[in-house]
Amino acid sequence: MRRALILLAWAASPAWAAGFRPYPQLDFGASPAQISTSCAAARQEAVFRLRQVAELPDSARTFANTPGAIESALDGLNDRTAGDAFLEHVAASSQIRAASTGCRDLVRDFGAYTADEAGGRVFARRDLFHAVKAYAAQAQGLTPAQQRLLERELVDFKHEGMEIPMERRAILSAVRERISMLQDDYAQNLSEVPDYLLVSKAEMAGLPAGYVAELPRLMGQYVIRVGGADYLPFMRDSPDADARRRLEFLYHNRAAAQNVADLSELLRLRDVAAHILGYRDYAAYSLEGSMAGNPEKALDFLSNLQENLTPMASRELKAMAALRAGRKGKASGAIRAWDWDYYDRELKEKRLSSSDAAAVRRCFPLDRVLRGLFTLNQTLFGVAFKRVPDAETWAPGVDLYEVRDGAGQGPVLGYIYLDLFPRPGKSARMTAFPIISGRLLSDGTYQKPVSALLASFSADRPGAPPSLSYGPRGQVQALFRAFGSVMAWTLARVPYERFAGFGGVPDFAATPGGVMKDFAWRPEVLALISKDPSDPSRGLPLALYRRILAARGADLAIKKLRQVFFASLDMRYHMDPLVTKPTAVYQKMAEKISLIPMTPGTNPEAGMPKLARGAGAYGRLWSEACAQDVFSRFANEGILNPAIGWLYRQEILAPGSSRPAQESLQAFLGRAPSDEAFFNSLGIPR
């Protein structure tokens, strides 16, 4: 891999090294005006194609010219705008990013809830709804994928209120408009938090010198910004408990004056919208189409986890409390919210020191990790990765890889862009994006998917190649997780874009990434992705690996229990229309489930953007359980077993969400899905 270079010339010309493009529309050198023009033209083409669907007489309707044609129009819009809409994530120019965001919004929204028939939001159009209903009344002989598409479109129309009278749709539209405003306000309030804590030089003792040097100063004191990146390092590394307490109080009161009221109204209006649409509550509405299917099943899953994790988590918290007592020289009660990050770090460092962590990092040079990751996927899935030497990209240091079937002897299956180094205008967060999704085209060929993996790996010192951290929140594990998502899109073979991957199944969407991440923990894979600096012929030293596993197990239960708490809180908020005091609910559930009480006088729910986006937080844990179940076949029958890898590719990745995830799991596992492997991974025998 080539080291990224930040060149001034590139800022003026976003497309780098003009050459091969997987598709003509992936023009990464487009100007803001070109982006706006091409996106508007693509939308107009989609409007025209949808008008043709609406104008057909009902007697002439077929699957191809009605539900299939609607999907085809949407797929075409996504494809034509793919490159323009992607640039918001990677372009150096703020003008290009703004134009790209506008294109993305145009495609995503495609009108509004109060859409007009000339081309508003597709599933809010009466004419298209009547067209699909008319076809559905006489549909027969459909394939399973066609039946699934028809059912999903009818659910989309239902969610837009097409099955309720016009006067109730008007109310729904007004409610949703207010919900959208509240969601935007909630996020905006958080982004504008000006709060900070002034800390004296004495209170900064024990913090890393690099962190201290980067902090601004005011009146001779250090400024810890509550809404920025200063918070977590201070809470994790500062030995001053009182300073941590003061900072935690500010942090968990971010935007509280506005957001507590906004969240209360938001939850109430979501419940109103769900009832207008005929659902019992918003959680039932949100979970339609998920693996769980209903809130009760999701809550049973969470409750079972809570019951089994609580004894283990209690022991971990007692170990943290013992560390604190040792520091203070006396017993000091339970771990509080301002203690958690600090003593969690200390507990893990008793098993894996900071010097150990630095030594571990040196064992994972980026080029070695990438080669091993490619080798793993080649072995499992029978594919080969080849860098495209003359590819047009959006920046220097970005590489394009083609993925070929048959260990490199077969056809090209898809393309993957790797953008792995920091750059102005680019998010530092590791993310995977499907740029163009695969689908079966009308001529019988398959559209090759194009995806991108973005990261910001930096060298520890100037001129040195990057090395990656390794552990539960390590860069190696994050890279594997993201690559698992990329391969799910690349290896999908589905008739319609909406079924590529598992985006429409929220509690299975993270499963392919979770499966790939599990490989990163296995010794067989460590031999591929790591090397001992003192002996490059060997991988990560066994003694270091054992200390990593010990540190991983030090807080496994309490961290997982915190996830259970947030998921349960999210579900409770969206099942109970009487949650008019979300702070009181948070306080009660935090003490009961997470075992770490809420600090009196704080309002943590005011600073949790995921709550403002709706029910579904349980899906991360559910996906993890599915991933562990899938991985159990590899663990039992061979981590690098190509036969199991091929079965995984064919039964789970290839169908994507064109069939229910439950069916795909059963086909791969040869049995009904189970949470046994997940509980075993947590140290809870079943």
Encode pLDDT of 321-342 as tens digits: 999 988 766 556 789 999 999 9
Give the amino acid at 277. Answer: L
- Whole-angstrom distance, CA of residue 10 vs CA of residue 7: 6
In a domain, 86, yes or no: yes
**DSSP code at position 387:** E
Q: What percent of the chain has pLDDT over 90?
A: 84
211 and 158, same structural domain? no
Task: Say if residue 63 is in the same domain as residue 125.
Answer: yes
Order of strands across the sheet with 399-405? 383-387, 399-405, 412-419, 450-454, 431-436
- The rounded distance, in Å, linking the Cα atoms of 488 and 653 is 5
Q: Is residue 293 part of a domain?
A: no
| C-alpha–C-alpha distance, residues 681 and 312, integer Å | 13
The verdict on 158 and 216 lying in the same domain is no
What are the tens digits of pLDDT across the range 178-216?
Answer: 999 999 999 999 988 888 999 999 999 999 999 999 999
> Which residue, 163, 183, 207, sits at the end of a domain?
163
Among candidate residues 677, 519, 612, 673, the one with its CA nearest the CA of residue 188: 612
Q: How many domains does the chain have?
A: 2
For residue 85, pLDDT beyond 50: yes
What torsion, rounded to 10 degrees, do the Cα atoms 176, 180, 182, 188 define?
180
Say whether both 232 and 143 belong to one domain.
Answer: no
Answer yes or no: is 101 within a domain.
Answer: yes
CA-based nearest residue to 66, from 133, 118, 17, 10: 133
Q: Is residue 202 situated within a structural domain?
A: yes
Region 279-299: what's the mean pLDDT? Answer: 94
What is the rounded distance in angstroms from the CA atom of residue 226 to the CA atom of residue 194? 8
Flag whether pLDDT at 217 surpasses 50.
Answer: yes
Average pLDDT, the chain: 91
- Is 102 within the bounds of a domain? yes
Are 39 and 153 members of one domain?
yes
For residues 83 and 128, membership in a common domain is answered with: yes
Cα–Cα distances in Å, from 677 out to 28, 85, 513, 523, 666?
A: 44, 40, 17, 19, 15
pLDDT over 70 percentage in the chain:
94
Please compute the mean of the pLDDT values over residues 79-108 and round it to a whole number: 93
Per-residue pLDDT band at 567 (split at 50, 70, 90): very high
Query: What digits encode the pLDDT tens for the residues 569-601?
Result: 999 999 986 777 899 999 999 999 999 999 999
pLDDT single digits (tens) 374-386: 999 999 999 999 9
Q: Residue 282 above 90 pLDDT?
A: yes
CATH of the domain at 136: 1.20.1050.40
| pLDDT, position 117 | 44
Which residue reads 């009902």 in tokens?
58
Residue 501 has pLDDT above 80, yes or no: yes
Domain of 241 in residue numbering reads as 194-251
| pLDDT surpasses 80 at 557 | yes
In a domain, 528, yes or no: no
Same domain, 133 and 80: yes
pLDDT one-digit tens code per residue, 226-270: 987 899 999 999 999 999 999 999 999 999 999 999 999 999 999
Cα distance between residue 251 and residue 607, in whole Å: 8
Please give the pLDDT value at position 426: 85
**Residue 332: predicted pLDDT:** 66
Where residue 12 falls among pLDDT bands split at 50, 70, 90?
A: very low
Question: Is residue 89 situated within a structural domain?
Answer: yes
Residue 413 pLDDT exceeds 80:
yes
Residues 212 and 148 reside in one and the same domain:
no
The answer to whether residues 615 and 609 touch, using CB atoms and an 8 Å cutoff, is: no
**Co-location of 138 and 224 in the same domain:** no
Q: For the ranges 331-340, 524-533, 551-560, which has the lowest average pLDDT?
A: 331-340
Of 205, 235, 251, which residue is a domain's last?
251
Cβ 298 vs Cβ 292: under 8 Å: yes
The answer to which of 73-82, 311-320, 330-339, 465-474 has the lowest mean pLDDT is: 330-339
Residues 430-445 have a mean pLDDT of 95
With 80 as the cut, is the pLDDT of residue 45 above it? yes
685 pLDDT above the threshold of 80: no
Question: What one-letter code names the amino acid at 318?
Answer: K
Last residue of a domain, one of 251, 272, 300: 251
Q: What is the model's pLDDT at position 666?
A: 98
Residue in the structure block whose two tokens are 């309002």: 603
Residue whose C-alpha is closest to residue 487's, from 526, 454, 515: 515
One domain, residues 157 and 217: no
Confidence check: pLDDT of 1 > 60: no
The tokens describing 26, both together, are 């992936």
Per the rule left: phi > 0, alpha: psi between -120 and 50, beta: everything else, 534 is alpha
- Dist CA 448 CA 436 (whole Å): 8
**Domain co-membership, 38 together with 152:** yes
What is the arithmetic mean of pLDDT over 514-536? Answer: 95
pLDDT digits (tens, 9 = 90+) for 107-146: 887 744 334 444 458 999 999 999 999 999 999 999 999 9
Give residue 464's pLDDT. Answer: 79
106 within domain boundaries: yes
Tally Cβ neighbours within 10 Å of residue 314. 14
119 & 228 share domain: no
Between CA 163 and CA 226 the distance in angstroms is: 46
As a whole number of angstroms, the distance between CA 260 and CA 188 comes to 14
Question: Residue 613 pLDDT > 80, yes or no?
Answer: no
Is the CA virtual torsion 571, 577, 579, 582 positive or negative? Answer: positive
